[in-house]
Structure formats: C-alpha cells, structure tokens
Structure 1
Amino acid sequence: MPQQLLLQGVSWQKYEQFLQLIGDDFPNLRLKYLEGQLQLGSPSRNHELIKRNLARLLEVYLEETRIPFWGLGSTTFRREANSRGIEPDECYCFYEEKPYPDLALEVFITSGGIDRLAIFEGLGVPEVWFWQQGQFAIYVLGESGYNNSDKSAQLPDLPISQLTQQVMSSNPLEAVLAFRQRLRG
C-alpha cells in the first residue's frame, strides 16, 4: 500500500532544502509541491507495475512510429515563480529535449493529496495523462487551463483504446508483443 504524508505551510526554501537532503539516496520517495503544501509519497508495487507497463507500451509506439523521444522518468521539475514542483511517474519530451516535458504520466492507486494538474499547469506541461481505475484521463493544456480530451494532442494517432487494453494485460511481455504487432499490422 502506498504511503503518503501531506505537510502544510512549507516554504519554497524548505522544499529546496528537502530536495537537496534526500538527493538520489531515496529513489522511491516522490515529492509534490504546490504553494506551501508538500506531499511525500512512496509508490506501491502495483503502482510501479502499471507505470512501467504503460511506459514500455508508449515507448513501443514511439519506436514503431519513429517519433524521437527523451524518456525522463521521474525527474524533479520545479518552478519557484509559480511555487510548484513535482516528480511525475513518467514523462517524455518529443522531437527535442526541453526544460519541461511535453507529456507527463501519473498513475493513481489512491486518491487525495495535492492537485497534480495545478502543478503541471504551473510548469507549462502541454499534456498530462492520468491512469486511474483501468482507464486514461487525458488533459491538454489550453489558454484557460487543462481540457479533458478523448485523444492525445502530442500523439494524435496513438490508438488509446488499444493502449488501454494492453496496460490491463496480466502479462507485460505479451502485452508489448501484441501492441507492437497491432501497430505494424
């Protein structure tokens, strides 16, 4: 079961100090910061399994369609001017490496905590996918914030329904092979 702790009234300086303190010594500790709120979490085994399956499948699509990508994993992204910081479950830049990802992926096993969309919006991430209860919620950044979408703006030809079906597979290798075959066929 994932563990979460939400702290209120944490200054940006304290957040930065905490990031320095933990460094790379605690790879399973995830931090989210939004305007004085700091959430610390530790992902569950099920969370990590879904996250890795999703990343593998998305990378198969990117390879098969020859879209250049940079997989940045759970890199820490932050912007002091907007008081926001996050370590997405997975994230990617497409066509060239950029300071902030083009796409961030978040897997929800539990609910509650800091508003992740508000963090990503403050960082200017163009697209965010939430995986929750066996389905995707795709959010595309517009002039007035994120809008829910049926398909990806970053990857408009990606067959979301087929991707969803394969993420749910009980056999990760078979899911990757089947998805690759469908993309080729």
Structure 2
Amino acid sequence: MVTLQLKQLDIPPGQRLLLHNITWSEFEAILIELGEDRAARLAYSQGTLEIQMPSPEHEVDKELIGDMVKLILEELQMDCECFGSTTFKRETKKAGVEPDQCFYIQNHQLMRGKRRVDLSVDPPPDLAIEIDVTSKTQLEAYETLQVPELWRYENNQLQINVLQSGKYMISPISPTFPSLPIIELITEFVNLSITQGRSPALRELRSRIQQLI
C-alpha cells in the first residue's frame, strides 16, 4: 500500500478529489493537517470525503451572492450572524461540510457572540449557499446535518432547496424571504455584475429591494 500525505496532492482549481472509506478519526486528522488557512473546502458523509479546490469564478460568485444576502437582510431589517465557510460537523451523524456562505437568521440570537460551533448543542445554519456543482457528498452532508435551506447556484441559475421530512425539495420561493422573487433577483443581479461591475449591481439591487418592500 502506498501512503501519501495530503500536501503531496495537487488539486487544480475547480476540481474535486473523492476519498472513500475514510473514518471519522481520519477526517478529523485531515482537517488538522490541512489547517484553517487553506483554499480547499471539504465535505464528509458516511465515509466519503470530498476535497474541492475552488476556481476564481467560484470565489467571485460566492462573495457576490453572500453580499446580496447581507444587503437583502439589511433592507428587510432582519438580524443575522454570518459564519462564512465554517466547518460544520457532527460525529454522531458522520457528516461534515463547509458551505461557501452560511447565515444564522431565525437562530441568530442563539449564535450571537459565538466564535466556535458545536452541532451537538448549536443549531445548524438556517441558510447555506453553494456555488457551482453541489455533489452527492455535499448534499447528503447538508441533509444529515439538517440545514433547513440550501441555495445552489450553477450555470447562472439559482436553485432553492428546502428540507422537508429530512430530504431536500426544490422550491420556487425562499422560506427565509417568502415575499421576494429571490431566484429572479439573484440571477438578474449576478448577470448585471458581469456587465456593470459588483458595486453598481449591489446598488441596483438595493434600489430594487426598496421598491419591492
């Protein structure tokens, strides 16, 4: 058997590496070995570990859509706690995932002031966002950890997944923002940012939200 250290692996931007039959203790050791200051993101579900290296396009959309959510929350005067790409994991469920962005909104008061998350006592994030392809491993991890709402943005289109009876169902509306046409807004203003730039797109989005409310 050949044993390789993870630092010997070179994963190109936009690519993923799948490792099978990984125990929970091995997953924990890999998290430690890779450290917190890394570009790669991990997802773990029932013995399968996925390591993804985001592309520049992925990072641009991640930041932009995260900023859009913050702007909408601000305009609606909804409080939140943003936990970015925090590692959410729970040993008893054999699952772990690192969202592109995530927010505590309904449960923001429970997470106020916290700098660490322990899912044995803390709730999962109310809203998580994934850019590009959301893999089977990631989706299973989100379902297992019971994240109520997951946005998946791919090919210039937003898909809203809502947890129902433990499984995700595609929804035309966001339970977090039921009064807004979120799918249309996100798609429109991401496209606007490509032609006019990030800041003008966010200003236009703010104006549109103010009109809608």
Same-fold status (TM-score > 0.5): yes
For 1:29 and 1:117, how far apart are their aligned partners in 2?
18
What stretches of structure 1 move > 6 A for 4+ residues in a row?
none
Counterpart in 1 of 2:33? 21
Counterpart in 1 of 2:175? 153
1:72 aligns with 2:98: no
AA at the equivalent of 1:164: T
Could you say which structure has the larger radius of gyration? Answer: 2
Give the % identical residues: 35
Corresponding residue SS for 1:163: helix
Match of 2:188 among 152, 158, 165: 165
Call closer, same or farther: CA 1:36–1:144 in 2, change over 3 Å: closer
Call closer, same or farther: CA 1:167–1:32 in 2, change over 3 Å: same
Q: What is the Cα deviation at residue 40 of structure 1?
A: 0.8
Aligned ranges 1:23-62 → 2 under 5 Å = 23-26=35-38, 28-62=39-73
User: TM-score when scaled to structure 1?
Assistant: 0.93
Q: Report the count of equivalent residues.
A: 182
1:101 aligns with 2:125: yes
User: TM-score when scaled to structure 2?
Assistant: 0.81
Q: Larger relative CO (CA 8 A, sep 6+): 1 or 2?
A: 1
Q: What is the RMSD of the two structures over their aligned residues, measured on CA atoms?
A: 1.5
Q: What is the Cα deviation at residue 23 of structure 1?
A: 2.2
Gaps of 5+ in 1: none
For 2:142 and 2:53, how far apart are their aligned partners in 1?
20
Checking the alignment, whether the CA contact within 8 Å between 1:85 and 1:119 is kept in structure 2 is yes
Checking the alignment, whether the CA contact within 8 Å between 1:57 and 1:167 is kept in structure 2 is no
AA at the equivalent of 1:17: A
Gaps of 5+ in 2: 1-12, 112-121
Q: More strand per residue: 1 or 2? A: 1
For 2:172 and 2:198, how far apart are their aligned partners in 1?
25
